[in-house]
């Protein structure tokens, strides 16, 4: 039996699926008999999440590709998401005043997180360098123009959409030989934090999780972890 949090989340997914089924199909389904289906969904979701995080080698490959991309904005988007774990909707909602990439208080302020949850995420040196490069290009490219207050702008000076941001992430990933999305970058950051031994409450705060159970999933052993454990038996 899966944990209560997993069952609740699985039920929400299942009910959304039912919502979009043809009316006749819905009529023959009995929600009271869906417990086994809910367990299967929860189990599948947990199993799938183990494969969402990039390996260390894949992370290095992605960062090398981002470093050599011609567009500072592309590099900034990828490194920001990889090193902060912010959601793509949160990235799109960032304004200039939300990002401090210089000085001692280097941070990103998320004001429109999931459930309208406010949080502050520190920035490391690599992320700051890429953000500063984009800010310089942003200032030069849109000098004298009236633009949106958004941190990331489209060519017309408006706020970038989540679809546009995700397209850039996928494009840089493809150049690195990886199939990724903004969601995978988020999972990678949170998985890294958990595997480094950081307190789950701290990781939950950085990730903007309302429930600690959500954060605990990132501590699940991967297939590689299991292989190493078994291989160690013969050493």
Q: What is the pLDDT of residues 4-27, one digit of tens each?
A: 444 444 554 555 445 445 444 444
- d(CA 144, CA 19) in angstroms, rounded, equals 49
- d(CA 194, CA 121) in angstroms, rounded, equals 16
Q: What pLDDT, on a 0 to 100 scale, did the predictor assign at position 47? A: 44
pLDDT in tens, the chain (235 residues): 334 444 444 554 555 445 445 444 444 445 445 555 555 554 444 444 444 789 999 999 999 999 999 999 999 999 999 999 999 999 999 999 999 998 888 999 998 756 567 899 999 999 999 999 999 999 999 998 999 999 999 999 999 999 999 999 999 999 999 999 999 999 999 999 998 888 889 888 899 888 777 777 777 777 777 788 888 887 6
**Eight-state DSSP code of residue 181:** -
Catalytic residue among 87, 138, 187, 217: 87
Sign of CA dihedral 112, 114, 118, 122: negative
Catalytic residue among 73, 187, 209, 217: 209
Collapse the DSSP code of 219 into the 3-class scheme (helix H, G, I; strand E, B; otherwise coil) and give the result. Answer: helix
Q: What pLDDT, on a 0 to 100 scale, did the predictor assign at position 6? A: 46
Q: What pLDDT, on a 0 to 100 scale, did the predictor assign at position 2? A: 37
Q: Is 36 a catalytic residue?
A: no
Q: What pLDDT, on a 0 to 100 scale, did the predictor assign at position 32? A: 47
Q: Is 114 a catalytic residue?
A: yes
**Domain locations in the chain as residue ranges:** 1-49, 56-192
Per residue in 145-182, pLDDT (tens digit) is 999 999 999 999 999 999 999 999 999 999 999 999 99
Q: Is 141 a catalytic residue?
A: no
Question: Is 99 in contact with 197 (CB distance < 8 Å)?
Answer: no
Catalytic residue among 106, 107, 117, 183: 183
**Eight-state DSSP code of residue 222:** P
Q: Is the pTM of this model over 0.85?
A: no
Q: What pLDDT, on a 0 to 100 scale, did the predictor assign at position 99? A: 96
CATH homologous superfamily of 56-192 equals Intergrase catalytic core (1.10.443.10)
Q: Is 209 a catalytic residue?
A: yes
Catalytic residue among 60, 114, 195, 211: 114
Q: Is 218 a catalytic residue?
A: yes
Beta bridge partners of 100: 107
């Amino acid at each position: 039996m899966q944990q209560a949090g997993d069952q609740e989340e699985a039920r929400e997914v299942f009910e959304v699926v039912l919502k979009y089924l043809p009316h006749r199909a819905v009529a023959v389904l009995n929600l009271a008999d869906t417990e086994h289906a809910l367990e299967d969904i929860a189990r599948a979701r947990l199993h799938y999440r183990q494969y969402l995080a990039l390996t260390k080698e894949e992370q290095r490959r992605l960062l090398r590709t981002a470093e050599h991309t011609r567009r500072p904005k592309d590099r900034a988007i990828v490194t920001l998401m990889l090193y902060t774990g912010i959601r793509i909707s949160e990235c799109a909602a960032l304004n200039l005043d939300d990002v401090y990439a210089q000085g001692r208080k280097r941070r990103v302020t998320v004001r429109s997180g999931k459930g309208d949850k406010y949080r502050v995420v520190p920035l490391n040196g690599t992320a700051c360098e890429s953000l500063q490069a984009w800010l310089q290009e942003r200032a030069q490219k849109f000098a004298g123009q009236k633009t949106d207050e958004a941190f990331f702008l489209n060519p017309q000076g408006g706020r970038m959409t989540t679809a546009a941001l995700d397209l850039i992430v996928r494009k840089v990933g493809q150049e690195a030989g990886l199939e990724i999305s903004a969601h995978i970058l988020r999972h990678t950051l949170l998985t890294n934090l958990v595997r480094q031994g950081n307190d789950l409450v701290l990781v939950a705060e950085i990730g903007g999780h309302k429930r600690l159970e959500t954060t605990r999933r990132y501590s699940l052993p991967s297939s590689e972890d299991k292989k190493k454990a078994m291989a160690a038996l013969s050493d």
